[in-house]
């Protein structure tokens, strides 16, 4: 896996429209917490989950192919068993920027994205980069900065 750079993170965060793959019916499930926080930060998100038709009043799409408009990037909070398939679908649909949230990443999915020249951020928590960074994530970011663990 290539090292994640600050430029790669900034390029991802500068996209206009994001597919958010992995919203859940469980209200306090991590993907939902992340989704709601990103919405508060004015991210333009389209929820994706094949098992949900409606997510908090928004239409939820079964897959990336079903989205009503082109998205610039995708955030994956999928089970590991689904991640490679979603990355492949993203590539086939011209999505060049992928954030594979911690816990969803697999070696095969990352390699596929890199082999297909996608901007892939993996094994990093989006909470630590979506501005403004708040709460415990601000502290985690500070600690990572001190120890040189933030992308450069």
The whole-angstrom separation of Cα 32 and Cα 34 is: 5
Taking the domains of the chain in order of start, what are their residue ranges? 6-146
| Tens place of pLDDT per residue across the chain (152 aa) | 888 999 999 999 999 999 999 999 888 899 999 999 999 999 999 999 999 999 999 999 999 999 999 999 999 999 999 999 999 999 999 999 999 999 999 999 999 999 999 999 998 999 989 987 777 666 566 676 776 777 88
pLDDT score of 62: 97
**Is 152 within 8 Å of 6 (Cβ atoms)?**
yes
**Is 119 within 8 Å of 12 (Cβ atoms)?**
yes
For the domain 6-146, what is the CATH code? 3.40.50.720
pLDDT score of 27: 84
Indicate the DSSP class of residue 15: -
Q: Nearest CA to 151 among 106, 115, 121?
A: 121
Q: Nearest CA to 40 among 101, 130, 102, 129?
A: 130
Geometric angle at alpha carbon 32, from 29 and 33, rounded to 5°: 85
Q: Which conformational region is residue 22 in: left (phi greater than 0), alpha (psi within -120 to 50 degrees), or beta?
A: left
pLDDT score of 39: 96
pLDDT score of 1: 80
pLDDT score of 121: 97
Is the bond preceding 18 in cis, omega lying within 30 degrees of 0?
Answer: no
pLDDT score of 146: 75
**Is 98 within 8 Å of 118 (Cβ atoms)?**
yes
**Is 41 within 8 Å of 131 (Cβ atoms)?**
yes
């Amino acid at each position: 896996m290539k090292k994640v750079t600050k430029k790669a993170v900034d390029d991802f965060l500068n996209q206009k429209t994001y597919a958010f793959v992995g919203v859940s019916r469980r209200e306090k499930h991590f993907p939902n917490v992340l989704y709601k926080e990103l919405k508060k930060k004015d991210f333009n998100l389209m929820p994706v989950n094949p098992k949900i038709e409606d997510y908090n009043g928004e239409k939820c799409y079964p897959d990336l192919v079903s989205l009503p408009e082109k998205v610039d990037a995708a955030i994956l909070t999928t089970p590991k068993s689904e991640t490679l398939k979603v990355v492949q679908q993203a590539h086939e649909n011209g999505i060049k920027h992928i954030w594979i949230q911690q816990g969803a990443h697999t070696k095969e999915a990352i390699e596929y994205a890199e082999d297909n020249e996608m901007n892939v951020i993996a094994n990093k928590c989006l909470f630590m980069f979506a501005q403004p960074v708040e709460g415990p994530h601000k502290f985690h970011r500070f600690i990572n900065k001190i120890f040189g663990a933030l992308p450069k």
